[in-house]
Structure 1
Amino acid sequence: MGGVTDTQLIETPAGGARITWHRAAKARLILAVSHGAGGGIEARDLQAIAGALPAHRVTVALVEQPWRVAGKKVAPAPKTLDAGWRGLWPALAAQGLPVVAGGRSAGARVACRTAAELGAHAVLALSFPLHPPGRPEKSRADELLGAGVPTLVVQGGNDPFGRPEEFPDGKYGLVEVPFGDHGFAIPKRASIGQDDALGIITEGVAQWVDAL
């Protein structure tokens, strides 16, 4: 289970953001992860990581972008997402530990776009949206490959935004979650269960973080 939990509201140029801290007892780094454009920090993968990583001496900061805190249903433009992330970064850095930037889907894109500029220690990209569904020619690989820091992609085997085999060669790690869709949901007919899938995610992330 995760460690001590508390929340912090941060004013950013895009509005008020919220960090929910899952603190490790003797943290050696911070993993800050934000949600995608279609949901919040209740996403199964974010909750699983927040529950598992504090045991590895990693404090997990679940970040809610200002549009979610304000109760809006639709995510703003990428430049506004980046502005919100930049605005809350000082609160992460103020903890005095290396910060791994991360997110799922749109949040992964934000982390990749801003990692080098903000001095992120590494990037965790959950369900990176390599392209819009059915539009492989609209690749966003340049964002992933341009992160400039150690990067791990965790991708569902059946993600319509990019299956693992579609990802280009590059200097990043890739963990495949068999049968998983964009939200890492596992169909009932699959040979693994939902808990197995979450275990693949948390173990993959923990091993990668331990090696940083």
Structure 2
Amino acid sequence: MTGLVEAVCVVHADVPVGRRGVELSGIDKRPVQGPIDVHELGLAGDHSRDTKFHGGIDQAVYVYDAAEARRWATELGREIPPGWFGENLRTSGVAVTDSVVGSRWRAGNVLLEVTISRKPCGTFARWAAEPRWVRRFTERADVGAYFRVVEPGTLQSGDLVSIEYVPTHGVTVRDLFLGANPRGIELLLEQKNLPPKVERDARAVLRSPPRRDC
């Protein structure tokens, strides 16, 4: 299975998104021309202001599916350009939210590994400026996926995406987000050397009932 990198996005400018308009966020990401260097903490020219909840090795690259973005554009009646979700890569042709945790993607000459889901927050809601945004985004559960960088390199828009490896436990990013597939998550936790945030989120699923509505 192959896909396409439609856009590579990094921070355009830090924007005020706090309740008093003071707190800054790097959510305003926009497409850039490549090739762009990618290292273990993400893309050159990108950064996270809130490093407690964003960024780091397990959340180095955030990817959103072009098909899911088009569905939102239709529902909201507005253009949803690459980077609007705060994503680094807008891709097409391969499942993102429904990718299996631990799958490895080759994009350009970079090797990426699927880790955890995006969790919508107040910053995202204020950026989107849509009614009940966190609830709606959560209910749809098209949340995109974070990746860690296994092999650094460069990538750019137009690069092909190929899936080089898919684990057998079957747990998807959507499963982690919704708290589904507990048996698969037990198998996931049997894997050696899990990224810390994957283990954290998987154990949280087993401690909590499945999420129905939020």
Q: Same fold, TM exceeding 0.5?
A: no
Q: Identify which of structures 1 and 2 has the higher relative contact order when contacts are C-alpha pairs closer than 8 Å and 6+ apart.
A: 2
Q: Greater share of helix residues, 1 or 2?
A: 1
**What TM-score do you get using the length of structure 1 for normalisation?**
0.32
For normalisation by structure 2, the TM-score amounts to: 0.31
